[in-house]
Amino acid sequence: MNEKESLILQLIKTNPFISQIELAEKTGLSRSAVAGYISSLTKDGKLLGRAYILPNKKDIVAIGGSNVDRKIQSLKTLQYGTSNPAESSQSCGGVARNIAENLGRLGCDVSLMTVVGEDPEGEWLLDYTKSFVDIRPSQKLSDQPTGTYTAILDNEGEMAVALADMSIYDSIDQEFIEKRWGYIAAASMVVMDTNFSDDVLKQVITRCEIENIPLCITPVSSPKVKKLPQNLQGVTWLIANKDEAEALSEIEIKEEGDYFKAAERIHKKGVEKVVITRGDKGLIYYTKEGEAGAILPPKVEVEDVTGAGDSLVSGIMYAYLKGLDTENACKIGIACSILTLRSHETVNPALNDLHLQETFKKYF
Ligand SMILES: Nc1ncnc2c1ncn2[C@@H]1O[C@H](COP(=O)(O)OP(=O)(O)OP(=O)(O)O)[C@@H](O)[C@H]1O
Ligand SMILES: O=c1[nH]cc([C@@H]2O[C@H](CO)[C@@H](O)[C@H]2O)c(=O)[nH]1
């Protein structure tokens, strides 16, 4: 094989969709010369022909946000209206991205459909994430900055207030999803956060229902939960914290029984399995099959709460895909959140399936 042929083969390997015109531009040959090389490579059996490429079958596709998380933790009790001595850190974030990374670390085959800006932050997020996750369905946008999440934490690691600068997600339209539907159709399960527009959320819910693709929705905040449609038929799991569950159910949760009333209201919108989390009081679950219960977490030292909810969702999905029932899937979810609570990062870099199983066995 001569130098030009091996260059053409290399370019085709990197991008099987490359056109003869692009190959000509990249090799400095004329288009007809490229055609000649391709024909001789085909005759020699080095190229097997042109083909449509289908996405690989994946366990999970995560749809939604990828942000840079900036966390500033007060060293002493927070005092409002004055300057508090603090410590800052930065990590990769975004609910969909966090879930995808957690699942990737747990050994699942997962892909991420997100958008970032064409800036150093976007580059960093995708570069870091691609070690655990297939990022091919994601895109960099040249005219928008990467989303950022800035959280002020108190000295105990609990979030006091957070600011979400994520206008980039408003530019995602139904066509973006349509073009990438092949990835969704090839998945055993879809997990979607509520960062994208209400039109996109509705489109994914409706189409997953029609095509019978299990879908888990996890809201990112109480303002953004309101983007969900009234009709949630087709949603398999909805996993929300107390504030998000209140906003979605329009029920104020004051006591134990209210959690189940809120869950029942959300179930009546069409959701099969509802989980409402409640910080150090664990969670409650309520399903169409009539399962209902509360699970308490063990007492743990909290380093930083950021990402606890996302790892809980990841643990539940990991267990659900392995065929566990709702109660045990929720326990795996709690075990996964404990590992995040003990880490300053939004996703614990020490997470793996062995570590998760050991934590589950230790506490449940
Ligand atoms: N202090 C804690 N002690 C033990 N478990 C906790 C604590 N805080 C959170 N968790 C675990 O994490 C899960 C999710 O926490 P929470 O209800 O605060 O959700 P969230 O607001 O979505 O979290 P975040 O936004 O911080 O990721 C809980 O169901 C629980 O299992
Ligand atoms: O509106 C949003 N707020 C916060 C997040 C993300 O939540 C994560 C913590 O649960 C954190 O990584 C942040 O980026 C998001 O994706 N959208």
Whether residues 345 and 243 fall in one domain: yes
pLDDT value of position 55: 63
pLDDT value of position 88: 96
How many domains are there within the chain? 2
Ligand 2 midpoint to CA 52 (Å): 36
pLDDT tens-place string over residues 326-335: 999 999 999 9
CA 229 to chain centre: 20
Is residue 143 within 8 A of residue 166, CB to CB? The reply is no
Nearest CA to ligand 2 atom 5: 94
Domain containing 186 — which CATH number? Answer: 3.40.1190.20
Q: Encoding tokens for residue 352?
A: 């793996």
pLDDT value of position 151: 94
Atom of ligand 2 nearest to the CA of 195: 17
53 in a structural domain:
no
Whether residues 90 and 232 fall in one domain: yes
* Rounded average pLDDT over 219-240: 97
Whether residues 288 and 357 fall in one domain: yes
3-state secondary structure 287-347: ECCCCEEEECCCCCCCCCCCCHHHHHHHHHHHHHHCCCCHHHHHHHHHHHHHHHHCCCCCC
Q: Given a cut of 90, is residue 111 above it in pLDDT? A: yes
Percent of the chain, pLDDT > 70? 98
Domain interval for residue 19: 3-43
Whether residues 150 and 240 fall in one domain: yes
52 in a structural domain:
no
Atom of ligand 1 nearest to the CA of 243: 21
Ligand 2 midpoint to CA 16 (Å): 35
pLDDT tens-place string over residues 136-146: 999 999 999 99
Q: Given a cut of 70, is residue 47 above it in pLDDT? A: yes
pLDDT value of position 244: 98
* Element holding 90 (H helix, E strand): strand 86-93
Residue-wise over 306-325: b if at least 16 C-beta within 10 A, else e? bbbbbbbbbbbbbbbbeeee
Whether residues 26 and 135 fall in one domain: no
Whether residues 89 and 199 fall in one domain: yes
Cα gap 249→279, rounded to integer Å: 19
Question: Which residues have C-beta atoms less than 6 Å from ligand 2?
Answer: 65, 67, 69, 93-95, 98, 149, 164, 166, 193, 195, 220-221, 224, 306-307, 309-310, 346
Q: Given a cut of 90, is residue 153 above it in pLDDT? A: yes
Ligand 1 pocket: which of 312, 345, 348 to mutate (most atoms within 8 A of CB): 312
pLDDT value of position 63: 98
Whether residues 36 and 72 fall in one domain: no
49 in a structural domain:
no
50 in a structural domain:
no
Is residue 305 within 8 A of residue 273, CB to CB? The reply is no
Whether residues 194 and 297 fall in one domain: yes
Taking CA atoms, 190 is separated from 80, 272, 309, in Å, by 41, 15, 17
Whether residues 216 and 246 fall in one domain: yes
Ligand 1 midpoint to CA 199 (Å): 29
Whether residues 96 and 147 fall in one domain: yes
pLDDT tens-place string over residues 159-188: 999 999 999 999 999 999 999 999 999 999
284 in a structural domain:
yes
* Rounded average pLDDT over 17-35: 90
ipTM for this prediction = 0.98
Q: What is the mean pLDDT of the chain?
A: 94
Is residue 193 within 8 A of residue 64, CB to CB? The reply is yes
Nearest CA to ligand 2 atom 15: 94
Whether residues 25 and 123 fall in one domain: no
pLDDT value of position 52: 66
271 in a structural domain:
yes
Whether residues 26 and 86 fall in one domain: no
Is residue 117 within 8 A of residue 146, CB to CB? The reply is yes
* Rounded average pLDDT over 16-26: 86
Atom of ligand 1 nearest to the CA of 159: 26
Question: Which residues have C-beta atoms less than 6 Å from ligand 1?
Answer: 241, 277-280, 282-283, 297, 300, 302, 305-310, 312, 334, 337, 341
Cα gap 135→127, rounded to integer Å: 9
pLDDT confidence tier of residue 53, bands split at 50, 70 and 90: low
pLDDT tens-place string over residues 76-104: 999 999 999 999 999 999 999 999 999 99
Is residue 94 within 8 A of residue 68, CB to CB? The reply is no
